Structure 1
Amino acid sequence: MPKMGSFLLLFFFFFIFPVFVQSQNTRFIFEGFNGAANNLTLELEASIMINPGGVLRLTDKSNKVIGRAFYNKPIQMIDKTSSPNASSFSTSFVFEIVPPSSSSGGYGLAFLLAPSRQLPGAEPVVAPPLNVSNLPRPPQEKISTISTSYDGKTVALISSLCVVTVLLMGLMGYFLLHIREEDSEVLEDWEMDCPHRFRYKDLYVATNGFKESEVIGTGGFGSVYKGVLSTNGSEVAVKKITRNSHQGMREFAAEIESLGRLRHKNLVHLLGWCKKKNDLLLVYEYIPNGSLDSLLFKPKNGFMLNWEQRFNIIKGIASGLLYLHEEWEQVVIHRDVKSSNVLIDAELKARLGDFGLARLYDHGGMSHTTSVVGTIGYIAPELTRTGKASASSDVFAFGILLLELATGRRPIDSSDFLLVEWVQDCQQLAQILDTADPSLNSSYSVEEMELALSLGLICSHQRKEVRPTMRQVMRYLNGDDILPFVDDWGSADYSQQGSEFGSRTFQISDGTFKTSHRSHHSYSSTEFSSSSIYSGG
């Protein structure tokens, strides 16, 4: 009788029971148990499986079960008349124990001879050998087990695959580490304290990998790309500046950190920056209509700014400069006020941008700049002598820009045309309205046009002490004050300034150096220009 342990076990029992009893010479053999049900008594979980071959199964897959099988016919083991001792016998049997796949439970099997269907002790006997080939095979259960025996070829294959896998993983790790080092953004000390820092990969995705098709402007410092941030879907302009010997990254970044806090409705907002190797990326809000220069001189689809729009743009630029010069926590000198650095938003309002050349100093202090930077036509005469930028030099450039908006002409159209002198000549002939932009078809307020032209001349006066402050400019534009009368327009000694241009060392932002001469006034200048944030819409 087999007995089940305390955990799930499955017994398959192949039974051959030859018994030799000397007194009775009794024999019986079971090679499978199909048709043997009459000779066996099955108890508890024991059963005969018809397929395959009549296997006697003592237990199933249930937990904590027992099965018993007894041979029905009694066998006389003791003949008291002939011998007081039990007859000798021999037996042999085959069984298979199939434990569950995940169990540490016990299991057991007992063979016994008993005078009744109880559990008395039993004694071993000797029996002839079994013919194992005649025994039925037990069914194969679908049990998840891991074989631990492999032939030589399998072991070699597995070993080779392991080696190849390890090598591939090593190579992959090396390349990933190499790529990570290539793309890593090593932070310098100044970056730790700068807010609004973008991740390079976010800007790379936003600009489609800085594709040429996304370029919306170029300049001396680099190119500007339109981008869309995946984080919030907002449109941005990403300016990619390459580090060079003329501009120290630490110095430039320190200024940007301060300028990043500028907030005014007439300024382009710097949203943040990012540094990768030799590139500094500046992220600005995107202004859809592009630069004032493009709208004035390269309009698309026949679009033209009317006088009301132009006058509002003049006021917007003046308001932005007043904020920079007097209303922010420090004095900010822009140093590159020009039409290509004025952007026009969706509501056709002016937004002064590109602070790459800007300098800051405390209120009541003085600028310490010693190099001449800017764009020809907008540079105040005193800069060629001292190299010191000031709020007054920004006012000079604003005056030129004001004349540009009113006349529709560039500061220098050719080697023999200077806008400020042309307007001044017409004013002295009492014909100042003849300089008004003809494309306006006289559709303008005469009072506002005369104000704009006259104020432009005063702001761009050769002597800086004559020029008004931006606060005074705002009062003139708003009609709060009347323009002062200026009877001595004078003229700067351009010959002397030209000589100084030739003898000084200048910071040239776009790499060009060009000298032009105007015979009538002996005008000599150096042509150099900074980049605009972006010049096209």
Structure 2
Amino acid sequence: MLNKTYAFAFLLLYIASCASQDVEFTFNGFTGSSLMLDGVASIESNGLLRLTNNTSRKMGHAFYPSPVRFSSNTSSFSTTFVFAIIPEKSGIGGQGMAFVISPTNDLSMAMATEYLGLFNKSNEGKATNHIFAVEFDTIQNDEYEDKNNNHVGININSLTSNQSEFAGYYDDDLDSFQNLNLMSHKAMQVWVEYESEDKEIKITLSPVGKSKPKKPLLSYKFDLSVVLKNTMYIGFSSSTGSFPASHYILGWSFKLNGTAPSIDLSKLPELPRRNTKEWSKVLKIILPSAFAAFVLICVPIFIYMRRQFKYAELLEDWEVEFGPHRFSYKDLHQATNGFNEKELLGAGGFGRVYKGVLPVSKLEVAIKQVSRDSKQGMKQFVAEVVSIGRLRHRNLVQLFGYCRRRGELLLVYDYMPNGSLDQYLYSGHEKPNLNWIQRFKIIKGVAAGLLYLHEECEKVVIHRDIKASNVLLDSELNGRLGDFGLAILYDHGTEAEITNVSGTMGYLAPELTRTGKASPLTDVFAFGAFMLEVVCGRRPVEPGAQGDRIVLVDLVLEHWKQGSLVDIVDPQLRETYPMEEIEMVLKLSLLCSHPLPGGRPTMQQVMQYLEGGKPLPDLMVTSMNYGMLAVLQKEEFDSFVMSYSSQMMTSISTQSEGR
């Protein structure tokens, strides 16, 4: 028994001594390696480490099996690896990958979408993560201040890079910067170095076969001792998101307190060849005898020309920038079974929306087929592609791409399984009732999306058509704002140009009919009508009993005067609900519906009110309704409107702090 105790103690001392030594390893391919894998990560038969495969919304991790013991001051380290990203669909694929140093090798709680398999919604950006990563990002996400959809970044505990640059390298021979496409199907080599004395991180990138460039792509001063713990795991992480891609590591070396050993490029496994299946099909067609080929080739040519005409598409100069996000008509035709009526999700003046499953990735999508006779013609189609083609926010419906074929205009979106919000508010028993918690979450979600559009995007985006039918619900009943066909963009610090009045009756701000100039505050007005719609379960304007119109905002004001707000709340909200919170939303709706732009809050203020971070200003009900003031304004009774404005601004103001 004593001998066993000594043996066990000796084993612990041996392990501790090994852990304290400077770690060094080299993998020229990963056949027979003992890496710790999870998710969809695997080692191919030829030795390729494949972090993700052609499956959407998956992640994969690969870690060196033993933890690395850094000193209390964080030791210097150096690593180099060869990687390649091969998207399933050329130009679009995956979320990217990252080299990571983590206090744990269990990242199963991460999300397989925009979080690169590193974080989730609750821990992203927190110092308690103790994660250092170098990202190779192939999706532009404005929420994380990405430069473009092809960049390298140094990340500390967050997806927002501390420093990032366009993917490329400084060519020593040409003395110039050369761009690299991370999704080029070609292997590239990376060097990651940290000097503890200088407290400097250096990232260098180059095509495989070129010597390491003298000038690094990124050089960032940072003391990693505040991030890295004494014992950490080193490895790789990747996620696919909606569009799958294969992320490969061909070789890897690492050294603590020294320079990482060179990788023997001649021993690295080969990447999969591109389109091998297609070539095999072609060979089967062209190998018949000369005479048979002559006879048979006429038929394939005829069929080919016919198919080319059937699937012929248009391409103009403005589309070059958005080319990678263009789908072939053939793929969309197959995805919807030829735009079969069984796949129809809805129809309206804009055209039809179909559910589809993309043939290769099996991704569920919604395909909007804009009608040839629709008022939402080429101008609106271009606006939608330009405005949301690059937007990334969890409360916006993501536009994956588009297609043009003769007179047909097609937009491809992320599929929202629960449909549009108006179906829940107005379809009776066809849809389950939404409780107050669900409705309030939807209101806050749409508000967050609008704040992103107005203030956080590269350009100001005015939606111009906010209403329940344009709010879609994902699988978790999160509200996502969609249909950007009327959206306009302009630079921050400038104003939008005067345009035709566009939108939906009941959501149009009074100044639009007079000036034709949209602004973020006209969106705020529509958002006020939308909040009333969600709380009351009624449309902003409804036909009255005697042929007149009932204006919802005036009806809410009347109930406010009489102290009977409970009577205006949607009767479908049958469970107990917090009346104070509902009153706050109704009051905020009235502020947003103020007939004068200066009396409305910004979306930033709206979010503060909804989150409870700022008290609402006092609202005093006047004797005049909002609808009448809108009529006066439309009839250009400007002097009266301005005098009335001074009275209203004393009772309804969003500019007064601390009220």
Per the normalisation by structure 2, the TM-score is: 0.48
SS in structure 2 of the partner of residue 273 of structure 1:
strand
User: In structure 2, which of residues 299, 302, 309 is the aligned counterpart of residue 181 of structure 1?
Assistant: 309
Task: Name the residue aligned to 2:491.
Answer: 362
Note the C-alpha offset of 1:486. Answer: 3.2
| % identical equivalent positions | 52
User: In structure 2, which of residues 589, 603, 607 is the aligned counterpart of residue 456 of structure 1?
Assistant: 589
Task: Name the residue aligned to 1:430.
Answer: 563
Task: Name the residue aligned to 1:505.
Answer: none
Q: Using a 3 Å threshold, how does the CA distance of structure 1 residues 171 and 230 change in structure 2: closer, same or farther? A: closer
CA distance in 2, matches of 1:301, 1:250: 36
Question: Is the 2:559–2:565 Cα contact (8 Å) retained in structure 1?
Answer: yes
User: In structure 1, which of residues 391, 397, 402 is the aligned counterpart of residue 520 of structure 2?
Assistant: 391
CA distance in 2, matches of 1:372, 1:330: 21
SS in structure 1 of the partner of residue 572 of structure 2:
helix
Q: Using a 3 Å threshold, how does the CA distance of structure 1 residues 434 and 255 change in structure 2: closer, same or farther? A: closer
Question: Is the 2:387–2:487 Cα contact (8 Å) retained in structure 1?
Answer: no
CA distance in 1, matches of 2:396, 2:331: 25
Question: Is the 1:190–1:250 Cα contact (8 Å) retained in structure 2?
Answer: no
Per the normalisation by structure 1, the TM-score is: 0.59
User: In structure 2, which of residues 430, 452, 456 is the aligned counterpart of residue 323 of structure 1?
Assistant: 452
Written as runs of structure 1 = structure 2, the 5 A alignment for 1:438-449 is 438-441=571-574, 443-449=576-582
CA distance in 2, matches of 1:475, 1:163: 77
Higher strand share: 2
SS in structure 1 of the partner of residue 475 of structure 2:
coil
SS in structure 1 of the partner of residue 425 of structure 2:
helix
CA distance in 2, matches of 1:361, 1:165: 58
Written as runs of structure 1 = structure 2, the 5 A alignment for 1:54-453 is 170=298, 173-174=301-302, 176-194=304-322, 195-242=324-371, 249=378, 252-253=381-382, 256-300=385-429, 303-414=432-543, 415-441=548-574, 443-453=576-586
CA distance in 1, matches of 2:361, 2:292: 44
Runs of 4+ in 1 over 4 A off after TM superposition: 162-172, 243-248, 299-302, 492-500
Note the C-alpha offset of 1:263. Answer: 0.7
Note the C-alpha offset of 1:436. Answer: 1.4
CA distance in 2, matches of 1:245, 1:221: 5
Question: Is the 1:433–1:449 Cα contact (8 Å) retained in structure 2?
Answer: no
1:32-71 C-alpha deviation (Å, 9 max, x unpaired)? xxxxxxxxxxxxxxxxxxxxxxxxxxxxxxxxxxxxxxxx
Note the C-alpha offset of 1:433. Answer: 2.5
CA distance in 2, matches of 1:392, 1:215: 35
Task: Name the residue aligned to 1:34.
Answer: none
Unaligned runs of 5+ in 1: 1-161, 501-537
User: In structure 2, which of residues 598, 622, 626 is the aligned counterpart of residue 465 of structure 1?
Assistant: 598
Count residues in correspondence. Answer: 339
CA distance in 1, matches of 2:443, 2:411: 27
Q: Using a 3 Å threshold, how does the CA distance of structure 1 residues 171 and 383 change in structure 2: closer, same or farther? A: same
CA distance in 1, matches of 2:613, 2:320: 47
Note the C-alpha offset of 1:175. Answer: 5.2
CA distance in 2, matches of 1:359, 1:302: 33
Q: Residue type matched to 1:486 in 2?
A: L
Note the C-alpha offset of 1:442. Answer: 5.6
SS in structure 2 of the partner of residue 465 of structure 1:
helix
Question: Is the 2:524–2:601 Cα contact (8 Å) retained in structure 1?
Answer: yes
Q: Using a 3 Å threshold, how does the CA distance of structure 1 residues 302 and 278 change in structure 2: closer, same or farther? A: closer
Question: Is the 1:264–1:320 Cα contact (8 Å) retained in structure 2?
Answer: yes
CA distance in 2, matches of 1:227, 1:359: 28
- Over the residues paired in the alignment, what is the CA RMSD in angstroms? 2.6
CA distance in 2, matches of 1:250, 1:426: 42
Written as runs of structure 1 = structure 2, the 5 A alignment for 1:482-497 is 482-487=615-620, 490=624, 491=626, 492-495=628-631
CA distance in 2, matches of 1:199, 1:466: 48
Note the C-alpha offset of 1:481. Answer: 1.2
Q: Residue type matched to 1:185 in 2?
A: E
Q: Using a 3 Å threshold, how does the CA distance of structure 1 residues 174 and 334 change in structure 2: closer, same or farther? A: same
Question: Is the 2:587–2:619 Cα contact (8 Å) retained in structure 1?
Answer: no
CA distance in 2, matches of 1:251, 1:405: 27
Q: Using a 3 Å threshold, how does the CA distance of structure 1 residues 271 and 420 change in structure 2: closer, same or farther? A: same
CA distance in 2, matches of 1:497, 1:347: 42
SS in structure 2 of the partner of residue 356 of structure 1:
coil
Q: Once structures 1 and 2 are overlaid, which stretch shifts more, 397-406 or 178-187? A: 178-187
1:226-261 C-alpha deviation (Å, 9 max, x unpaired)? 001121111000001145696663774265134211
Question: Is the 1:343–1:352 Cα contact (8 Å) retained in structure 2?
Answer: yes
Question: Is the 1:332–1:359 Cα contact (8 Å) retained in structure 2?
Answer: yes
Question: Is the 1:200–1:274 Cα contact (8 Å) retained in structure 2?
Answer: yes
SS in structure 2 of the partner of residue 382 of structure 1:
helix
CA distance in 2, matches of 1:437, 1:255: 33
CA distance in 1, matches of 2:374, 2:575: 50
Q: Using a 3 Å threshold, how does the CA distance of structure 1 residues 265 and 165 change in structure 2: closer, same or farther? A: closer
CA distance in 2, matches of 1:349, 1:193: 31
